[in-house]
Amino acid sequence: MSYQEKSILGSLLAMVVVYSVYFAGTLRDIGRGDFGASSLGRLIFTVIAIIVIEIVYHIVLAIEGGVERKDERDILIECKAYRNAYLMLATGAGLVITYFIVAGLAGATRIPLTPFLAVNVMLLFMVIAELTKSLTQLFYYRRGL
């Protein structure tokens, strides 16, 4: 497995684990009817955790086998991955906007349409987009372009 693949796989696993913990906590808050304050601290902790894990992991990778610079194939694969990630993010943003407009016009919803909810749903789609990017890259590295 190349340096790029190891780097992507590590980032992917870190994101899955850290954001699973974050969204599990957020769902618990929503279940309790708590739509705000406690999740801000958790979000800050999540972002810091991701950064720390990424830094430590990439230091270990560099010590183990050295850093490999990206070449044209890596960049082409990254471009294809960004395209898929963008489609995922645009779809998510479209769904959120549509939901808020429709739910807002219809009136009552079971879950209050708060900024907290909007931020978390958008964050969820950003994470899904990032996962899509990583999975697309791993797919093209394995299958070839």
Residues that bind other proteins (CB under 8 A): 2, 4, 68-69, 71-74, 141, 143-145
Q: Yes or no: say if 127 and 89 are a contact pair by the CB < 8 Å rule.
A: no
For the bound state, the minimum distance from the C-beta of residue 25 to other proteins, rounded and expressed in Å, comes to: 39
Place of tokens 């294809």: 80
Measured CA to CA, the distance from residue 14 to residue 113 in angstroms comes to 30
Phi, psi of 113 (to 5 degrees): -85, 75
Cβ nearer to other proteins, comparing 3 with 116 = 3
Measured CA to CA, the distance from residue 9 to residue 2 in angstroms comes to 11
Cβ nearer to other proteins, comparing 54 with 68 = 68
Cβ nearer to other proteins, comparing 75 with 105 = 75
For the bound state, the minimum distance from the C-beta of residue 6 to other proteins, rounded and expressed in Å, comes to: 11
Measured CA to CA, the distance from residue 1 to residue 82 in angstroms comes to 22
For the bound state, the minimum distance from the C-beta of residue 77 to other proteins, rounded and expressed in Å, comes to: 9
For the bound state, the minimum distance from the C-beta of residue 138 to other proteins, rounded and expressed in Å, comes to: 13
